[in-house]
Structure 1
Amino acid sequence: MSLFKIASVAAIALTLGACQSLFQPNYRAPLETTRDASEQLKPGCKDQDCPLVNIDIVHFPTEPELDSIIEKRLLQMTRTSPDAPVAPTLAAYREQFLRTAGPRNSSYLQSKVREQHDGLVIVEMSSYLDTGGDHGTPGRGFINYSRQQHKVLTLSDMLVPGQEEAFWKAAQVAHNSWLISTRLDQEPEFVKSWPFQKTRNVALTYGGVILKYDTSTIAPYALGHVELKIPYPRLNGIIKPELFPGRN
């Protein structure tokens, strides 16, 4: 092949590569985010214990669909019972809460990006409702958003078909490791009173699969939101291979 033909082939390859980079999203580059934080007291209240609503939320200007998902998830976290209705928007929730809230009542809602990697956006959501009791009610949640599929990944989406039982067995191993690391395994009464449970809060972080638990599920309220971590090597054949960091 002549030098001219080689140069021509190379030029065509570079042109095709440039065209592909123009028309295909770069999933290694994180999505741009903005933040909207506000705190509002009950209108007309002048006391020190005025009810308040604090909302701190992340926005994705180039992915409005994700914004809508986050708002819906945060609104679901405002429920005080499983069948309680939710407000249509965060602004409507703030208005409703402040209209009926008593002194020292407060509500905090937050969403933040925990990680972005391999075309995944991991959003962590927090809530805290204080109705004047001994302590408030905190909540946590995750969104694993696939930019390629434009959808939130459920646990079923993450797992190889038929491997759910194997996944929760790996989670139990992670729970045992947590008990040992905290030396709680040496307290038989604790182990008996706070056995392992499943959780709906699963995150595909770069360093491992994270399980986060609501307070008073696998540990007393005082220990907060317990996190368990399952290293990816323990999930070979369980998590879909394209979801392992660096493989997609």
Structure 2
Amino acid sequence: MSLLKFASMTCIALTLGACQSVFQPSAQKPLAFTNDASEQVKSGCTGQDCPLVNIDTLHFADAPNLDALIENRLLKMTVNSPDDKLAPSLNAYREQFLRTADSRNSTYLQAKVREEHDGLLIVELSSYLDTGGAHGMPGRGFINYSRKEQREVTLQDMLLPGQEQAFWGAAKVAHNNWLINSHYSSDPEYVKNWPFQKTPHVALLKDNVVLKYDVYSIAPYSEGHVELKIPYSRLNGILKPEWFPAKG
């Protein structure tokens, strides 16, 4: 049987979007990138309490718009109050922070590839800002980057029209499962004080859709960044067919 005939027969059993998901990504090599990591302390400062900035980011030679997107998202994670202004670049932020920071203040910013599959590159963003409080504030985020369209895929791009409420309904089921597995469902005070919420941090991973939560959103600081997982099987009729991972 010819490859063309085989592909045609396969597509009959699939939606157009799912067929595209099967045949396009397998022909793509992983998107090449380099790491750019640095740590710098305040000039003239010595000792263990010197302010520092640690940045660990990525550069994609074949996707320069992704570089700019990552930098912008990392910079947004440095905003600690309504009065903070966004620095024009990571280098400018580093210089500004070290110039004004007090002892023991620090910033950690990181971008890493979490997964790559089906023409999607999932970048996970992390931050940790310590400005002298009882503890620093960590942050997380995702970029779902479509290699074909060379842009970020938002939640609105992922969902079929009119299905946002259904998506968050599936997320609430995932939250209930997390409560049960964490043994919090039997604690009425916990359930009352930490109810389900929506999150902007959504990732289209290969095995499931992951929702990541900021600290203090649906759980105490000690729980860190809670991850809820929604199986793709629960998103039939909710997620656009082209965003379902290929199966073989």
Residues 162-201 of structure 1: matches in 2 within 5 Å?
162-201=162-201
1:77 counterpart = 2:77: yes
Q: Aligned-pair distance for 1:126?
A: 0.3
Code of the aligned partner of 2:212: K
Q: Distance in 1 between matches of 2:25 and 2:172?
A: 38
Comparing both chains, which one has the higher relative contact order based on Cα–Cα distances under 8 Å and sequence gaps of 6 or more?
A: 2
From the superposition, tell whether residues 25 and 224 of structure 1 become closer, same or farther in structure 2 (CA, over 3 Å): closer
Residues 38-187 of structure 1: matches in 2 within 5 Å?
38-82=38-82, 84-187=84-187
Q: Aligned-pair distance for 1:52?
A: 0.1
Q: Distance in 1 between matches of 2:83 and 2:231?
A: 36
Q: Distance in 1 between matches of 2:192 and 2:120?
A: 37
SS in 1 for 2:124: strand
Structure 1 residue runs of 5 or longer lacking an equivalent are 1-8, 11-23
Q: Aligned-pair distance for 1:26?
A: 6.3
Q: Distance in 2 between matches of 1:133 and 1:82?
A: 18
Q: Distance in 1 between matches of 2:231 and 2:100?
A: 46
Residues matched between the structures, number:
227
Structure 2 residue runs of 5 or longer lacking an equivalent are 4-23
Decide whether the 8 Å contact of 2:25 with 2:118 is kept in 1. no
Code of the aligned partner of 2:200: R
Q: Aligned-pair distance for 1:162?
A: 0.4
RMSD, aligned CA:
1.8
Decide whether the 8 Å contact of 2:140 with 2:214 is kept in 1. yes
Q: Distance in 1 between matches of 2:197 and 2:48?
A: 41
Q: Aligned-pair distance for 1:28?
A: 3.7
Q: Distance in 2 between matches of 1:108 and 1:137?
A: 10
Q: CA offsets, 1:48-78, max 9 Å, x none?
A: 2000000001221211110110000000110
From the superposition, tell whether residues 235 and 84 of structure 1 become closer, same or farther in structure 2 (CA, over 3 Å): same
From the superposition, tell whether residues 92 and 236 of structure 1 become closer, same or farther in structure 2 (CA, over 3 Å): same
SS in 2 for 1:197: coil
Q: Distance in 2 between matches of 1:52 and 1:198?
A: 33
Which residue in 2 is equivalent to 1:206? Answer: 206
Q: Aligned-pair distance for 1:158?
A: 0.3
Q: CA offsets, 1:165-221, max 9 Å, x none?
A: 000000000000000011110111100100000000000000100000000000000
Q: Distance in 2 between matches of 1:82 and 1:201?
A: 21
- Give the greater-gyration-radius structure (CA): 1
SS in 2 for 1:35: strand
SS in 1 for 2:174: helix
Q: Distance in 2 between matches of 1:81 and 1:119?
A: 36
Q: Distance in 2 between matches of 1:148 and 1:115?
A: 16
Q: CA offsets, 1:68-117, max 9 Å, x none?
A: 10000000110012463110000000000000000000000000000000
Q: Aligned-pair distance for 1:33?
A: 1.5
Which residue in 2 is equivalent to 1:231? Answer: 231
SS in 1 for 2:242: helix
Q: Aligned-pair distance for 1:25?
A: 8.5
TM value normalised by structure 1 = 0.88
Q: Distance in 2 between matches of 1:212 and 1:68?
A: 23
Code of the aligned partner of 1:95: E
